[in-house]
Copies of this chain bind each other. A is one copy, B any other.
Amino acid sequence: MTHSKRIIFFISDGTGITAKTLGHSLLTQFEQIKFDTVTIPYIKTAEQAQEAVDKINQTAKEGTRPIVFATLLDPAMRHIISTSNALFLDLFATFIQPLEYEFQTKSSHAIGKSHTVNTAYNERIEAINFALLHDDGQSYQRYEDADVILVGVSRSGKTPTCLYLAMQFGVFAANYPLTDDDIQTQALPEMLLPYREKLFGLTIQPDRLQKIRQERSPNSRYSSLAQCQLEVQKVEALYRQFKLPFINTTVTSVEEIATSILLNAKIERPMF
């Protein structure tokens, strides 16, 4: 049983994104098992809940017991889903009760609150626009509004990191590519000097950089291993010279890079 493919259902009366995030984190702890996922969001009616149960039970008949990760706020929906032949992991009910007791108040059971349009949301959208406008050194007019300015050689991971910081945390992140010229002179570009406290460097293993550049611009000087080695070596020297914090992105995800940047800059964004 431990080696067959297990079917995972993410069931929600909202988007199901919270169920997916926690479910994914938990299941990555069972590397020897293969999973397939089925997401059923926006369950609003008893009919939709019963349809989901039928789908779960059909899967149960065909193989091993499915697993349900559920975020259901409506007790009626939750009851229907709980009747299925799955292992039912109820993320909200498990933790809402101790929180209600702690706060000495009932939760609102209002659906769609976690991914809604509010001040924190609008700030995140603003941050995405900021990241796009200040991507790749295109503009540095509003660097004074930036929470962080990423620097690094071309294709070291600056853009996805800025977008993730914006999307997930509403952090205003610009990025500036360190070019051959900057690297040769071993100096920080002039427009970055007033913002030295906001700078965070990215670096990457030269052979990985070479592979990424090769896909973009095959067999060029830009994508040669010698050029990649030179740029990485010089840029790391520059980071050390100017005492910039930096991280190697070769085997580090944008989530991990972003977490390190926030930790270093002591940025904690209001979530509510």
Contact = CB atoms under 8 A, between A and B. Distances in A.
Number of identical monomers bound together in the oligomeric complex? 2
Interface in A80-98: 87, 89, 91-92, 94-96, 98
Contact of A89 (B95, B116, B263): B95
B132 A15 contact: no
A22 to B, nearest CB: 5
B271 A108 contact: no
Contacts of A128: 159-160, 163
Contact of A109 (B29, B36, B42, B107): B29
Interface in A227-258: 251-256, 258
Interface string A102-139: 11110111101111110001000100100010000000
B37 A107 contact: no
Contacts of A102: 65, 67, 87
A259 B41 contact: yes
A268 interface: yes
B253 A116 contact: yes
Contact of A18 (B25, B38, B73, B132): B25
14 contacts: A2-B104, A15-B256, A25-B71, A28-B272, A29-B110, A31-B110, A33-B103, A34-B272, A37-B270, A89-B95, A116-B256, A117-B251, A128-B159, A167-B254
